[in-house]
Structure 1
Amino acid sequence: MSMASRKQEIVRRIALLAHEQPVLGSGLWFHTDVRNNFYYASYLFAAAANPDLQLSFDRTEAQAKACRIFTELLELQDRDPHSGTYGHWPLHLHPVPREAEPNSLPVELMGSLLMYFFHRYGAGLPERLRASMRQALEHVYRSGFFRKPLRDYNHHEAKYTAAKLLFGQWFGDEELLQDGWQSLKSTLLHVQTKGMPEYGCLPWFWHWVQAFTCALEMVRQEEIAADLRAMLDYLWTERSLYYVKGAWAGPHSRGLSHDIPKDANVLFDYVQYGDFELPHELPRVEYAGFLSYEAPAQAKAAALDRSVPAEVKRVVTKQTDSGEVRLNTYAYMTQHYAVGGVLERFREYDNEQHRWDVTFPLVNHDSVNQLFFFQPGDHYSAGDPRHQSDGGDIALNRNVSIALYPAAHGSGERMVGILPKGDWRMEERSLYGFINDEVYAAVFLLLPYAAEQLDDRITITGENGSNAVVVEVISTEEAGAIGIGSFDSFVAAMRGKRPQFEDAAKGFIRYTSLLGNQVALSVEI
């Protein structure tokens, strides 16, 4: 199936969801996030306008329904030029959408996507709605929300940059267009030389992709388009480095709960790579069915063929009030699993740094696909394993990860672990797993633990005190090459390989993997 076909599949699928979604008394589908109304209306209108799509509903009725949603949505925009939120929409609409306070976030991406939708489908809109949408874009332009200098090189500024290009061209504002082009060149230079400060940042990486793909779809100047292609080549090469069958391996500076401990925001990956089945639940639809840009051939081929394992080592530069901080990231990518993380702890926004994990392909949608341990920190709550303590050190080498968590640095919480579903055998301080019928895993803990079986995972809770964990994963093919032909023989082999935890209290752990690699963690405590 081609990228175009996969986009059409997404359009049809989300249009069906939109058609079946009950309309609330406010005239909208959702009060949780204003943008979801925009996305669903876009898909429903686009599907109904496409005669090649097989649909189970009346096209005229569907387009009328989408137009009613658009009309109500546009009414929520702040149109007062004297307001501090001029041109903006509310974000959360509960309980009364028309009384909700405007927020700076929705317009960042929705403003550009609204322009794209109007450009592509505006001729088919009723005249009154077409005029209202045109006026909404004028309010966005006059608001100047995007007129901000580059500072952090984050997803907000990426969207400002794309908006400068789009609104500068649309409204014939040459100064704004040139400002956007300069911002684009500066951003591209920064990420090429210093890495993305928002490493593995989901879902915000997809905002970069959408914003710049949207700009490329509409910008007419070839010199600017060339730089946009260079930016998108960089972004998709970066994505491809950490791709393993629908999943994003390696560390994440930030993430939402639908991507940790399970990769669920997968629509853009599905369009690009297409080597996994779409899950039933789609937590963020955005514009994956509309915008696409094919990754560089070499990067895409490497992402789709992990038959030869590869190590990815990168240095990411973070800007702080006291100067630059360099973070070292690592990922070991194979066909059946990946091991990755960032060696240094860094306090990210909302304390969402996801330090390390073992990532598995998206082949079992009933299970989480990440295995990791952490010491809970600020904002942690049971069921949300995204918030870690400032303590802890890790060592990563190929298929092995070691982590040490001194109790003195924690928030009083015990070390917690997340394991995917599989065949697990549990002993007092060890666990042995067979995952996806293709990977064996051994987990060694310093202290005894308690395990809780949940619908989609196993949660591990260690005893009080300083704790440590060593994880080794190995595919059945790798294991077979060294004479391990079954799960039973793997468990028997690993029972004799318990790490040297004796010096863990002094900050030293040593382990020799099944493949003969020696991995050691040595830190000052």
Structure 2
Amino acid sequence: MANWQSRQRDVIQQFASLAWNEPLQSSGLWRHDDIRNNLYYASYLVAAASDSALCGELALDPEAATAKAVGVLARIVNLQDKDPASATFGHWPLGLGERPEEARPNPLPAELMGVLIAYFQQRFGSQLPASINQLLDESVEALFRSSYYRAPLTTFGHHEAKYTATKLIFGHRFKDRELLASGRLHLQQTLDRVRTLGMPEYGALPWFWHWIQAFTCAYECVDDDEIRLELAALLDELWRYRATYYLKGAWTGGRMRSLGHDLPRDGNVAFDYVQFGDFSLPSALPRVEYAGLLFYQAPESVRQTALDRALPQVIRRVISPAGDGAKQPIHSCLFVDEGFAMGGIWERVKEFDNEQHRWGIDFPLRQDGGVNRLYVLPPGDGYVGGDPRHAGETGHVLFHRNAIIALYPFTEGAGDMLVGVLPKGEWIPGDNAVYGYVEGVFIALHMLHGFSLDEEHDRIKLTSAGFASGGVVVEAISAKAALRKQLRRLTDFATAMAENKPLWAASEDEPLRVEYTNLDGDRLVMTLGNESQRIVRTVNGSPIVIL
């Protein structure tokens, strides 16, 4: 058994155990929160039932397990709109509520579940009763006839990625040559776009994994050598992108969106675990989808990028938005060293649900369940109940290797607060500063004004409020690199950094300005003038070139 197969088996075991042991509700489903969770549970239970060794390990009766899964699959299919005259023909409800049979259809389940159901039936159909295969056939045919996926290719986003994969799968399955040709054309255009301009959805979770699932399903379902070569080329590019921003289960750098279980702690890690396997599978996964059932092996060069890259490394990238000619490219900068990565996006953009994560320090996934990202932001739209994923519009940044400067000139009506998240570790407070040691990395965090720290179960929360402006300077260094500078302990590091604090200037009569000399002796200066003045960023007296 290959290592990736063993790791997939770990994922199957975890979720099949949940499905086997969790009782069904009166509706005949496990979950009413999201219909897709029922599909995942049923799929993993069928996969486990087909593995005699797993059945023994889980004390699972294969016939009973298959029957339980089949019953849920039948109920899922029965919740699909099968009326060809309906505007929602082929669709399912998303959130099921207390009465699933009365829940309204939503376009999202078909978009993701359609390709998964087609793949699931192709792989496991021979192990299922004829009755459920007939229902699955009817369900896939309703999806095919509904034509929700017959959309133009304009944004090169995750919706269109799934539509393209769907065209390929349905075109092949139903011998629709015109649909298959349309899907192949869009596949070629998508591949060209990713190769030349990259993905417009940078660091977007869970959307990136929807790309991976959709095109891996197509790779497995379409029996055409030329199309499969093109699908393999696209999957290679997707995994190359993932590997570039990978750090032992963590996504590094800026993101256009993350769900609450992916920031400030990476939770959507099952695909990474199967592909790379350089961390332990968490005991609980908030989202798994088909990571244990679908697999495309990334090239060895991609694995080397993820697991054995040359360090330290600076990664710069131009991100080209698609679908809106008025949008300008934005720029990413990331510094990667042993045990951490830091940087982000130079430009503030109000992305989907205002979830752009602009800058921070990333650490490997932690086995203790704690957060693995450090960052500070001004709260903005969507910041409800302390959810630290939604930033305000203000602020400018400077990235220089392992140092970051962020200045926030608050304006009337925009708030006067900065909030932040620190991973748990050893921390020493200073004068408007805090010095820490987290997972083999020393961190110095300096603030323009005072702040408070409150320890929570998985993180340390930072709050700085009531000031006319805000500023942050943060520098990190691995313990190995610090030792070369004769900094052996956190107390040594804290003493050295306290003697080299940033020089701030912030008043009504002068621009917001900070000057900082990092541990390598580089002098960083950032100045924000009034509306008639430009932002000035220099390193050792020379203007910074963003890219």
Q: Which residue does the alignment assign to 1:326? A: 329
Partner Cα separation in structure 2 for residue 263 and residue 9 of structure 1: 19
1:446 maps to a residue whose letter is L
TM-aligned CA deviation for residue 503 of structure 1: 5.2
Q: Which residue does the alignment assign to 1:392? A: 395
3-state SS of paired residue (2:503): coil
Q: Which residue does the alignment assign to 2:355? A: 352
Matched, 1:506 2:511: yes
Partner Cα separation in structure 2 for residue 375 and residue 191 of structure 1: 33
Structure 2 matches for 1:126-141, cutoff 5 A?
Answer: 126-141=129-144
Structure 2 matches for 1:323-472, cutoff 5 A?
Answer: 323-408=326-411, 411-436=414-439, 438-465=440-467, 466-472=469-475
Q: Which residue does the alignment assign to 1:50? A: 51
1:38 maps to a residue whose letter is L
3-state SS of paired residue (2:472): strand
Structure 2 matches for 1:470-481, cutoff 5 A?
Answer: 470-481=473-484
Partner Cα separation in structure 1 for residue 189 and residue 324 of structure 2: 21
3-state SS of paired residue (2:83): coil
Alignment deviations for residues 258-313 of structure 1 (CA, whole Å, 9 cap, x no partner): 01100010000000110001112211110001111122212211211246211110
TM-aligned CA deviation for residue 22 of structure 1: 2.1
User: Given that residues 505 and 512 in structure 2 are in contact (C-alpha distance below 8 angstroms), is that contact kept between their aligned partners in structure 1?
Assistant: no
Q: Percent identity?
A: 45
User: Given that residues 372 and 419 in structure 1 are in contact (C-alpha distance below 8 angstroms), is that contact kept between their aligned partners in structure 2?
Assistant: yes
Classify 1:24/1:409 alpha carbon distance in 2 versus 1 (closer, same or farther; 3 Å).
farther
Classify 1:402/1:409 alpha carbon distance in 2 versus 1 (closer, same or farther; 3 Å).
farther
Residue from 254, 268, 272 that aligns with 1:269:
272
Partner Cα separation in structure 1 for residue 126 and residue 322 of structure 2: 45
3-state SS of paired residue (2:87): coil
Partner Cα separation in structure 1 for residue 343 and residue 255 of structure 2: 10
Matched, 1:167 2:170: yes
Residue from 506, 513, 523 that aligns with 1:518:
523
2:330 maps to a residue whose letter is L
Matched, 1:149 2:162: no
User: Given that residues 155 and 323 in structure 2 are in contact (C-alpha distance below 8 angstroms), is that contact kept between their aligned partners in structure 1?
Assistant: no
3-state SS of paired residue (1:30): coil
Alignment deviations for residues 495-525 of structure 1 (CA, whole Å, 9 cap, x no partner): 0111121258614322221122333333444
TM-aligned CA deviation for residue 345 of structure 1: 0.8
Residue from 465, 485, 489 that aligns with 2:488:
485
Structure 2 matches for 1:178-193, cutoff 5 A?
Answer: 178-193=181-196
Matched, 1:103 2:99: no
Classify 1:373/1:197 alpha carbon distance in 2 versus 1 (closer, same or farther; 3 Å).
same
Residue from 293, 297, 321 that aligns with 1:294:
297
Partner Cα separation in structure 2 for residue 40 and residue 216 of structure 1: 23
3-state SS of paired residue (1:318): coil
User: Given that residues 389 and 409 in structure 1 are in contact (C-alpha distance below 8 angstroms), is that contact kept between their aligned partners in structure 2?
Assistant: no
TM-aligned CA deviation for residue 134 of structure 1: 0.6
User: Given that residues 328 and 344 in structure 1 are in contact (C-alpha distance below 8 angstroms), is that contact kept between their aligned partners in structure 2?
Assistant: yes
Partner Cα separation in structure 1 for residue 47 and residue 214 of structure 2: 19
User: Given that residues 78 and 86 in structure 1 are in contact (C-alpha distance below 8 angstroms), is that contact kept between their aligned partners in structure 2?
Assistant: yes
Partner Cα separation in structure 2 for residue 410 and residue 105 of structure 1: 36
3-state SS of paired residue (2:328): strand
Classify 1:409/1:108 alpha carbon distance in 2 versus 1 (closer, same or farther; 3 Å).
farther
Residue from 99, 120, 136 that aligns with 1:117:
120
Partner Cα separation in structure 1 for residue 329 and residue 26 of structure 2: 51
Partner Cα separation in structure 1 for residue 309 and residue 520 of structure 2: 18
Classify 1:520/1:303 alpha carbon distance in 2 versus 1 (closer, same or farther; 3 Å).
farther
Partner Cα separation in structure 2 for residue 519 and residue 83 of structure 1: 62
3-state SS of paired residue (1:408): coil
Q: Which residue does the alignment assign to 1:232? A: 235
1:315 maps to a residue whose letter is V
Alignment deviations for residues 306-361 of structure 1 (CA, whole Å, 9 cap, x no partner): 46211110001124645241100011112200002010011111111111110001
TM-aligned CA deviation for residue 364 of structure 1: 3.6
Classify 1:87/1:320 alpha carbon distance in 2 versus 1 (closer, same or farther; 3 Å).
closer
3-state SS of paired residue (1:325): coil
Alignment deviations for residues 369-419 of structure 1 (CA, whole Å, 9 cap, x no partner): 000000111111233111111110111111111111111177325101100
Partner Cα separation in structure 2 for residue 142 and residue 320 of structure 1: 27
Residue from 495, 500, 508 that aligns with 2:498:
495
Q: Which residue does the alignment assign to 1:278? A: 281
Task: Please identify, of 357-366 and 84-93, the stretch whose mean Cα deviation from structure 2 is larger.
Answer: 357-366
Classify 1:127/1:199 alpha carbon distance in 2 versus 1 (closer, same or farther; 3 Å).
same
Partner Cα separation in structure 2 for residue 410 and residue 116 of structure 1: 51
With the length of structure 1 as denominator, give the TM-score of the two structures: 0.97
Partner Cα separation in structure 2 for residue 119 and residue 472 of structure 1: 52
3-state SS of paired residue (1:288): coil
3-state SS of paired residue (2:321): strand
TM-aligned CA deviation for residue 198 of structure 1: 0.5
User: Given that residues 76 and 90 in structure 1 are in contact (C-alpha distance below 8 angstroms), is that contact kept between their aligned partners in structure 2?
Assistant: yes
Partner Cα separation in structure 2 for residue 82 and residue 47 of structure 1: 39
Please report the RMSD computed on the Cα atoms of aligned residues, expressed in angstroms. 1.4
Partner Cα separation in structure 1 for residue 402 and residue 25 of structure 2: 50
**Unmatched segments (≥5 aa) in structure 1:** none
1:513 maps to a residue whose letter is N
Partner Cα separation in structure 1 for residue 473 and residue 135 of structure 2: 59
**Unmatched segments (≥5 aa) in structure 2:** 531-547
Partner Cα separation in structure 1 for residue 206 and residue 254 of structure 2: 14
Structure 2 matches for 1:84-95, cutoff 5 A?
Answer: 84-95=87-98
Partner Cα separation in structure 1 for residue 527 and residue 221 of structure 2: 53
User: How many pairs align?
Assistant: 524
User: Given that residues 305 and 335 in structure 1 are in contact (C-alpha distance below 8 angstroms), is that contact kept between their aligned partners in structure 2?
Assistant: no
1:369 maps to a residue whose letter is N
Partner Cα separation in structure 2 for residue 71 and residue 221 of structure 1: 31
Alignment deviations for residues 112-133 of structure 1 (CA, whole Å, 9 cap, x no partner): 0000011111122112111111
Alignment deviations for residues 84-127 of structure 1 (CA, whole Å, 9 cap, x no partner): 11000100000110100000001111100000011111122112
Q: Which residue does the alignment assign to 2:7? A: 6
Partner Cα separation in structure 1 for residue 457 and residue 515 of structure 2: 34
Partner Cα separation in structure 2 for residue 72 and residue 58 of structure 1: 21
Q: Which residue does the alignment assign to 2:533? A: none
3-state SS of paired residue (2:411): helix
Classify 1:329/1:43 alpha carbon distance in 2 versus 1 (closer, same or farther; 3 Å).
same
3-state SS of paired residue (2:474): strand
